[in-house]
Structure 1
Amino acid sequence: MSLIAIFASSASVVIYHQYHEREQLQLIRSLKNQIASGQNWERKVAFESLVNPGLGSSDFVFASRISTPAVVYIEGQSLEESKSFFVDKAYSTGSGVIISPDGYIITNNHVIEKSGNLKVLLNDNREYIAKVIGTDSNTDLALIKIEDSGLPYLEFGNSDSADVGEWVLAVGNPFKLQSTVTAGIISAKARNINILNAQQYRIESFIQTDAAVNPGNSGGALVNTKGELIGINTAIMTFTGRYEGYSFSIPSNLVKKVIHDLKDFGVVQRGLLGVTIENVDDQKSKEFGLARVSGVFISNTSKDGAADLAGLKADDIIIAINEHIVNNVAELQEIVGTMKPGMEVNINYWRNKQLFKTKAILKNQINSTELIATRKDPILVKYGIEVRELSEVELQNLKIKGVKVINIHRNSIIANTNMAPNFIITSVNNKNISSVNELIQEIENSKSKILLNGVYEQYKGQYPYSFYKE
C-alpha cells in the first residue's frame, strides 16, 4: 500500500512538473514575441529571469518584475471648494495600471471623480498629465490616458479561472510608498460588501484577498504569479481605516469589458435582464423545493424587459446563466455585467419544483438593444457637458428631436447653470437641433450668449439654461 502511495505521489509530481513546464513554455513564447516587436525592456528583464534561474526563479519575483513598472501613482487636485480661504488645496491620490503601450490607464472612479489636473508618476519617476477618457460609477472604474509610446503595461488574465487559495500580489502606492508589492491568497470570490449602494445599476462581485492593501492602493493591480492582471484593488474592510486582513478587487473580466466600452463608446454598454432580484436563503430553498441553498430569486420583472419577454416571472429562481451556475446575486451580476445589450443569454431557472430553460436578449437602460455612444468633443468638454443622440425608442416615445445630456462636469460652465443630467436639449438660441453635430455647430456659431432650451422626461414644460462663451 505504501509503495502504491509512493508511485502515485511520484506520478503526481511528474504530471505537475510537466504541466508547469508547458505553462512556462507558453509564457516564454509570449514574452519572446513581445520583445521581438520592441515592447517593454521590463518584460525582457523578466524573461531573462524566467529562463535564467540565477536571476531570480521565484514566481513572486517574476510577477513583481512584470507588474511594478506598469503600476503608476496618480495625484489629482481636488475640485471641491474649500470653506476657508487659508486652507491649502486638497489632493486625492491613488494608483493605476497601464494596460497598453500607448498610455491607457485603469484606476478607480473614486480616485479621480472629485479631482482635476491629474498627474501620473511612473515607476521610473517620469511624470505626465493625464486626461479622463471615461468613468463608470456603477463599477467604480475609470479610464485615463497619458501621451507616450512604448510604455510598460500589464496584460489581462482570466479572473474566472482564478481559484480560492491561489497566490496573488497586490501592487500599488499605499501612503505614497511607490511600487509596493504585497502577497496573499484569494480568500473568496463574488463578494458583495455594499459599498456602491447609491448606484442604481451597481455591480459588486469582488475578489477577496488577504494581501495587504491600504489607502493609496485604490486602482492598483492584483496579479497572479504569471504577472497577469486579474483584478483592480478597490476597497478594504476595516474599523480603523487601515488594513485588517480583508481587501477587495474588481475581477479583470468585468474590468476588461467596462474599460473597452469606455474607450469605444465613452459610456458602458450595460446589458440588463430587467429583474429585481435577491439571494436565495435557507427558508426560500425549502419553500421552493431546492436541493441546496443556491440561486437568484426573482421578486419582480420589468415590463417588456429581457426577462419578461423570455417568459420569466416573479418567484422564479435563476440557477444558471450560459451554463455557469449562479449561487448568488453577485455572481449573476458579474456574468451579465460582462455582456452588452443585444446579446443572447441562456437561462436555467426553477419554477414549481421543476427546472426549465429559456433564452433572453439583454436590453439597455432605456429598454432597447441599441449601443449608444457618448460624445466628448473638445468644445463640449470645455463647457463641461457630455451628450448623446436620442435612441430610436426615445424618438418614438418622446416625439421630439434633440440630444440627451449624460454627464455634467463638476464646477463647469454648464454646471453653474444648474442643468441636470438627462436634460434633452431641443434648441440652441431658439434654433432647433436633432443631432450632436448640430448642437456643436450652433454653439460654435454663437457670438456671445448661448441659450439652451429643452425638456426633462419626468417633468412638464420647457427649461431654459444660458451661459456666455469664453
Structure 2
Amino acid sequence: MLLCAKHFCTALLAGIVLMCWVAVTPAISQQLQELSAPGSREQAFAELDRDVDSLDAQLGIYKRVVRLVSPSVVHVEATPRPQYRLRRDAEEAGSAVLVRYRGADYVLTNRHVIKHSDASLISLELSDGRQLRPKKIWEDRETDVAVMLIEAENLVPARIGNSEQMEIGEIVLAFGSPFNLQRSVTRGIISAKGRSNLDLGEGEVMYQNFLQTDAAINPGNSGGPLVNLRGEVIGMNTAIASNSGGNEGIGFSIPINIAVRIMRQLIDAGEVERGFLGVALDRSFDDATARRVGLTRLTGARVTSITNASPASEADIQTDDIILRFDGMLIDNDEHLINLVKRTEVGRKVPMELFRSGQMLTVYVNIVKWKTPEPTVR
C-alpha cells in the first residue's frame, strides 16, 4: 500500500508517539508509586525546602527592599472640587512618597493626582494607617510634579537614588495603589530612558524625559515610587501606554533627579527655573533639507537666528547650524531640543554637537534662566 508523503509522516509520527508512550509510561508509573510512599514524599518535600532556601538567599532581596521602602509610600485620596467631580480626568486616588528636605517632611507626587482638589479635600494615608492633611501645596504643571508639606511624628522618608546612573535592563520595583489596591508592589526592568513627546492627558506635561519600565503600572500608581534593588527611589510613576486603560508592559516614570530638583525649586522659590539657550529653530526642517546640507537622514534641529548676549551667541553658534546632540542626547527635532533645554538645570555647562558646512564640531553652552516676557500694557 502506497502512502503519500503526508500520510506516511502521519503514520510514522503516530508510531513514534506510541513507542514513546510505551517506553515512558512504566517510568512515570514507577515515579508516581515512589512519590506516593510516605517516606519518599517527605524526602521530596525536604529536598524542595532546601532548594527554596538556597534560592531565597538570592531572591530574598526583593522582600528586604519592600520592607525598607513600604513605610515611605503614601496613599493619596484627592476628592475633586465640586466643579470638577463630573470630569473623566478627575482622579480621586493615587500614590506618593515621603521625602525630607531641609529638616521638614514632604509628600512628593504627580500634579495630575491632586490638580482638581485642594488641601482640605486631600487625605494622605501612611503605611501605619495614620491619615494626614497637607499643610501647603506646590505644583508644576509642565513637569507634572507636586509636593505637599506635612507635619507628623515618626515619619520615614525614602532614600533618594541617582536616576542618571540607572541603565537599561536594571531591575526595579513599582510601589503604589493600582485600582485603589493599597500597598501593591510589582517588579520589572528599566526598558528605555529619555522617552519624550508622549501624549499625556490634556497635553499639559510639556517637558518630558521619562524612564520606561515594564513593571506593572496601572491607574492609582501615579505618584508612587519606582525603586532600585538598593531600596533607593529612582523614579516617580506617572503614566502608562495602553489601549485598554490597564497595564500592557509600558509604563513611564519621571526620573527622581528631575522630580527632586523641581521640588526643591518650588519649596525654596515658589517657582521653577527653565533653561534658556537663545536660538530660533526651523520648524519646516525636513528630510530634503537635511540631505541637501549633507546629512544622511533627518535628525537634529536647524538654527535660524541667534539671540544677542545669549548662551548660544557666547558659544558662537551660527545660523544654519544643525544641533545634533545636546548634553550627549541625540536630538530628534526642534521640540525635542526645546524640551531638553527648558528642563536643564540653570548654570550648567552643557556640550552640544553641531553640523556646520559639512563638518562636525562640539561647543559648550552655559544655560541661563529663561525670563518670561513682560506682559504688554494696554
Q: Shorter-chain TM-score: which interval?
A: 0.7 to 0.9
Residues 180-206 of structure 1 show CA distances to partners (whole Å, capped at 9, x for unaligned) of 00011111111121327744x821111
- Cα contact 2:348–2:366 (8 A) shared by 1: yes
Q: Distance in 1 between matches of 2:56 and 2:189?
A: 26
* Alignment match, 2:63: 61
Over 3 Å counting, the alpha-carbon distance change for 1:183 and 1:57 in structure 2 is closer
How far has the Cα of 1:149 moved from its partner?
4.1
2:159 is the alignment partner of 1:155: yes
Q: Distance in 2 between matches of 1:140 and 1:223?
A: 19
* Alignment match, 1:222: 226
* Alignment match, 1:14: none
Q: Distance in 2 between matches of 1:83 and 1:202?
A: 25
- Cα contact 1:301–1:308 (8 A) shared by 2: no
- Cα contact 1:306–1:361 (8 A) shared by 2: yes
- Cα contact 2:91–2:114 (8 A) shared by 1: no
Q: Distance in 2 between matches of 1:191 and 1:254?
A: 14
- Cα contact 2:84–2:116 (8 A) shared by 1: no
* Alignment match, 2:133: 129
* Aligned partner letter, 2:183: S
Over 3 Å counting, the alpha-carbon distance change for 1:358 and 1:114 in structure 2 is same
Over 3 Å counting, the alpha-carbon distance change for 1:75 and 1:301 in structure 2 is farther
- Cα contact 1:348–1:355 (8 A) shared by 2: yes
Match for 1:296 among 277, 297, 300? 300
How far has the Cα of 1:58 moved from its partner?
2.3
Q: Distance in 1 between matches of 2:284 and 2:352?
A: 17
Over 3 Å counting, the alpha-carbon distance change for 1:307 and 1:104 in structure 2 is same
How far has the Cα of 1:299 moved from its partner?
4.6
Residues 398-453 of structure 1 show CA distances to partners (whole Å, capped at 9, x for unaligned) of 7xxxxxxxxxxxxxxxxxxxxxxxxxxxxxxxxxxxxxxxxxxxxxxxxxxxxxxx
- Cα contact 1:164–1:189 (8 A) shared by 2: yes
Match for 1:166 among 164, 170, 173? 170
- Cα contact 2:285–2:302 (8 A) shared by 1: no
Over 3 Å counting, the alpha-carbon distance change for 1:240 and 1:56 in structure 2 is same
Q: Give matches, 1:246-325, under 5 Å.
A: 246-275=250-279, 286-290=291-295, 296-301=300-305, 303-304=307-308, 305-322=310-327, 324-325=328-329
1:339 counterpart SS class: coil
Over 3 Å counting, the alpha-carbon distance change for 1:317 and 1:66 in structure 2 is farther
Instruction: Give the TM-score normalised by structure 1.
Output: 0.59
How far has the Cα of 1:357 moved from its partner?
3.2
How far has the Cα of 1:219 moved from its partner?
0.4
2:366 is the alignment partner of 1:361: yes
Over 3 Å counting, the alpha-carbon distance change for 1:343 and 1:187 in structure 2 is closer
Q: Distance in 2 between matches of 1:256 and 1:185?
A: 22
1:214 counterpart SS class: coil
Q: Give matches, 1:176-215, under 5 Å.
A: 176-192=180-196, 193-195=198-200, 198-199=203-204, 202-215=206-219
Over 3 Å counting, the alpha-carbon distance change for 1:315 and 1:331 in structure 2 is closer
* Aligned partner letter, 2:209: S
Q: Distance in 2 between matches of 1:327 and 1:215?
A: 31
Identity %: 34
Q: Give matches, 1:268-417, under 5 Å.
A: 268-275=272-279, 286-290=291-295, 296-301=300-305, 303-304=307-308, 305-322=310-327, 324-328=328-332, 330=336, 333-334=339-340, 337-340=343-346, 342-366=347-371
* Aligned partner letter, 2:343: G
Instruction: Give the TM-score normalised by structure 2.
Output: 0.72
Structure 2 unmatched ranges of 5 or more = 1-54
Q: Distance in 2 between matches of 1:180 and 1:359?
A: 45
* Alignment match, 1:141: 145
Residues 129-174 of structure 1 show CA distances to partners (whole Å, capped at 9, x for unaligned) of 1133311111100111210244112122121221111111110011
1:202 counterpart SS class: coil
Bigger relative CO (Cα 8 Å, ≥ 6 apart): 2
Match for 1:71 among 70, 73, 76? 73
* Alignment match, 1:105: 107
Larger-gyration structure (1/2): 2
Q: Distance in 1 between matches of 2:286 and 2:160?
A: 35
The number of equivalent residue pairs is: 313
- Cα contact 1:91–1:115 (8 A) shared by 2: no
1:359 counterpart SS class: strand
